[in-house]
Amino acid sequence: MPPIPDILSVRPTDELFLEVRVSIPHRRRPRRPQTPLSRLTLKVALLATPVLLISAVTVSCSQEDDGYRAAPAAPAGRASGPGLDNPVKKDIAMRLVSSAENSSLDWEAQYSYIEDIGDGRGYTAGVAGFCSGTGDMLDLVELYTERKPGNALARYLPALRKVDGSDSHRGLDPNYPRDWRKAAGDEEFREAQNDERDRVYFNPAVQRGKSDGLGVLGQFIYFDALVMHGDGDDSASFSSMRRKALAKAKSPAQGGSEKTYLNAFLDSRVWAMKQEAAHEDTSRVDTAQRVFVRQGNFALNTPLSWKVYGDSYHLD
């Protein structure tokens, strides 16, 4: 079972939302299917299917882990036209995420990024903010080790399994950050980061966005929410945000206004962010995503101008 959130205050904030302050890691990912070789070691009875870096293939992950699950599978996409999985649009999405996560548009420089940002999730690292305390960093290093046994991070697997679900660095310090940066120079590790990002965050966001009738912007908004919050049953998860949005507005697939629905989703996203001190700055929504929604730029076409944490960014 996952840890039970600390409830510091409970008060109705509106007709739908209940305020619950969460002080422990709540972002949890679906466990990555393992190859038969790893199954012998880890006793996991699933097969892995490699995911390409740029792919229009979506992934359905229905297995549960400690009560948390992947973004739900959806019917074939209802939205027409290019999606966020278009290579150009995907690059734009990664630059937008990097501006919020790393204060840089150079997302490809983030493979080597690693630090403890004090959010209760241990080390945060790589192009999708993989965390030692939430399971996805463990999955990544397991995948990398399957593909390249004896890599610089393989020896940390026992420690990563022990610290999963906590902010502990036990067994990782002092050399784990150094070895992570070393591994980032390996193309196989960078590919593993891309594949795990796509499996856990990107592909489910695109799949669900298309099924809801959303254009590229809406798919990106889903992707950014999954990167920060993950999915699960808790009130700050992606699925919870989506349920709250659908309670207030119809999705385009239901015949609703795309602008109205996206604003309803962003309302629920802002509420979720404010439940955690580390995410109380909502500028990645207020002065970035809402700007694009107000402009009606549902195809996420350039040029784009936005602000995050007071810093200005522009893409031509």
238-248 and 216-229 helices, crossing angle to 10°: 130
Beta-bridge mates of residue 315: 304
Whether the Cβ atoms of residue 98 and residue 91 lie closer than 8 Å to each other: no
119 is catalytic: yes
Q: Domains of the chain (ranges plus CATH)?
A: 36-68+79-315 (1.20.141.10)
C-alpha span between 235 and 240 (Å, rounded): 6
pLDDT at 79: 53
Spell out the per-residue pLDDT of the chain, length 316, in tens: 444 444 344 334 343 433 333 334 445 444 444 443 332 332 223 333 333 333 333 333 322 333 333 444 444 444 556 799 999 999 999 999 999 999 999 999 999 999 999 999 999 999 999 999 999 999 999 999 999 999 999 999 999 999 999 999 999 999 999 999 999 999 999 999 999 999 999 999 999 999 999 999 999 999 999 999 999 889 999 999 999 999 999 999 999 999 999 999 999 999 999 998 888 899 999 999 999 999 999 999 999 999 999 999 999 9
* Residue type, position 181, single letter: R
Catalytic-residue membership of 101: yes
Residue 167: how many CB atoms within 10 A of its CB? Answer: 17
pLDDT of residue 66: 33
Give the pLDDT confidence score for residue 172 in this predicted structure. 98
Of the candidates 42, 52, 46, the one whose C-alpha atom is nearest the C-alpha of residue 34 is: 46
The pLDDT of residue 41 is: 31
SS3 311: strand
Question: What does R_g of the chain's alpha carbons equal in angstroms?
Answer: 19
The residue from 19, 65, 66, 119 that is catalytic is 119
| Contact predicate 71/207, CB 8 Å | yes
Burial of 251 (0-12, 13-18, 19+ CB in 10 A): buried
pTM, two decimals, is 0.78
pLDDT of residue 277: 84
Catalytic residue among 101, 116, 164, 231: 101
Strand positions, DSSP E, the chain: 64-65, 68-69, 114-116, 123-125, 130-131, 304-308, 311-315
Pick the closest to residue 165 from 39, 66, 20 (CA basis): 66
304-308 and 64-65: which strand pairing?
A: unpaired
